[in-house]
Structure 1
Amino acid sequence: MTLADFASAIARRVDWFLVGMAAAVGLAWLFPEPGADGGWMHPELLTKLGVSLVFFLHGLALPFSALKAGTLRWPLHLTIQLCTFLLFPLLGIGLLGAAGGRMPEGLRLGFFYLCALPSTVSSSVALTAAARGNVAAAVFNATLSSLLGVVLTPLWISSYLGAAGGGLPLGGVVLDLVLWLVLPLIAGQLLRPWLGGWAARHKPAINRVDRGTVLLLVYTSFCDSMMRGVWTEQGWGEVLGTFAGAAVLLAVALAATSAACRVLRFGEEDRIAAVFCGSKKTLASGVPMASLIFGLNPDLGLILLPIMIYHPLQLVVGGVLAGRWARR
């Protein structure tokens, strides 16, 4: 193998989106002023426009016709959604209880936010397909999870903040999510008869725009934290602790989902869809939703840290499992 072939093989294996996330955080550390509150990028407006663009593109790319085959598998759907929106928040409560007061409040909120997020769409479906699982059920549940998350995620966050003595203007948050997330998603769906073919032909370019927008939101989310010195007050202990907490959450979610599938006697294809959809948490939707739910919270960088660590971790573990199950 030549050096060029080796470099090409490495480039194919590298997830440039994860590299881009690291670069966005690095830029926020070096140049936080443009993306911070009051900066020339106007993050308060840029964030909402970015959210709208991301979900408009999701609406264009989402073929509802692909969901029909999976709609009748309601025990599977119920299991996946309960894992996503009930099991995970309960795990988060247990993890925060075990951590006690040793964890900064922004990071505590970040872990609970991670647990309250909906499942991913693209990676859940892609991993289910790679492992030869029930793809139709994965598409249905990943989509349903994204729609339910518009309501259930802020409800869980509001409950957490209320128990912690804080509060969340739930009506305003849901209104923001509807205006800047749901309506663009619906607009994309309504325009599919005219733009669906164009979106299918230009799917790689749309994916690049989608991911680039998320990276821009990651940058602006971290800028305010950098300007306010949130990260200078933390050490590597918090980062390593976050990695350990994310690993524990993923391991317990995978084990619990697999156990539920065995108890309910799901077939192999359904079990694969349940494990991948029930254990995933969305970064692509999580960053925009955090920007809307928490606004210009100075701890936003810390709040996003758990999902930014959980995301690559779930992809690595999911890839290993998909490869193993594909060889069955």
Structure 2
Amino acid sequence: MREHRIAAIPGDGIGNEVLPEALRVLDRVGAAHGFRLAATVLPWSCERYLTDGAMMPADGLDRLREHDAVFLGAVGYPGVPDHVSLWGLLIPIRRAFGQYVNMRPIRLFDGITGPLRDATPRMVDMVVVRENNEGEYSEIGGRLYQGTPEEFAVQQSTFTRRGTERIMRFAFELAAERSGRVASATKSNGIIHTMPFWDEVFGEFAAAHPDLSTEQLHIDALAAGFVLNPARFDVIVASNLFGDILSDLGAAVAGSIGIAPSANLNPSGSHPSMFEPVHGSAPDIAGRGVANPIGQIWSGALMLRHLGHEAAAREVESAIETVLATTDARTPDLGGTASTTEMTDEIIRALPSA
């Protein structure tokens, strides 16, 4: 039986509830398809930061490097600033392992009533491809004269040709596999250097792929389009900041951020990729057993696909579709009363191998 080494990091809040449930689903489908996920649970979190002064140990990246993939729950806890928790765990992993693609599928499933009055599942089915290693999320900058009237802060955005070209290449290749449509998020009418550069590289790829339908939209108009006409979009390529915002908006359009998955990909496979739900640690509901496990389970399906198990990934995604379309099982974020475990049980029952 083929075995994959998985670094499982539940993290904080509801991550500790949804990640074990997702592993139950993946273990079941793995047994049916002849592979095993050997998960090593790593208790790296804000709780660790509060006791040890660091989100992960000094050799954390070296330990992760030995695995085939990283499966993350959530990061964040009251009392620990977000920039401490994110820059102490999530972002170092993304950058050290060259996970330059953040891929976030967005779908409105049959059986879910989204917030848009006339939206149907056929109208909301897209993927945000977010540049994940540079752009606006740079460490370059600083603050001077703190606590004085002259205080100021400087944050530098960094866009390299290598980084911009490789995210465009991924987005265009993905669009060719899907509907052949790709849109670019920009703001070149207000950001005078980085965004015109981004537009130029997008234009180069559009010219090299005349068979694909391409358009570029200012981020404000694109965000409005997500709400007013989501059917217009299929693959959206965006910088780090714009992609982050758009994918959360897309999850809301699809009915709940609790169902949204993401993949932090190193397409070359030279380092492990990381898979996590879009939702945060949700401390307001943590410990109550009502968190939606679908975002974590769907992220697990993306992990299976990345590891080469396409049929198993499709089975997991199909089970999610079946439960939402044919049963009343819903966690509270979707208007139901099911617990995290009950929702997972329904998905396991919907697997062909169950």
When normalised by structure 1's length, the TM-score is: 0.30
Q: Greater helix percent: which structure?
A: 1
When normalised by structure 2's length, the TM-score is: 0.29
> Which one has more relative contact order, counting CA pairs under 8 Å at least 6 apart?
1
Q: Greater strand percent: which structure?
A: 2
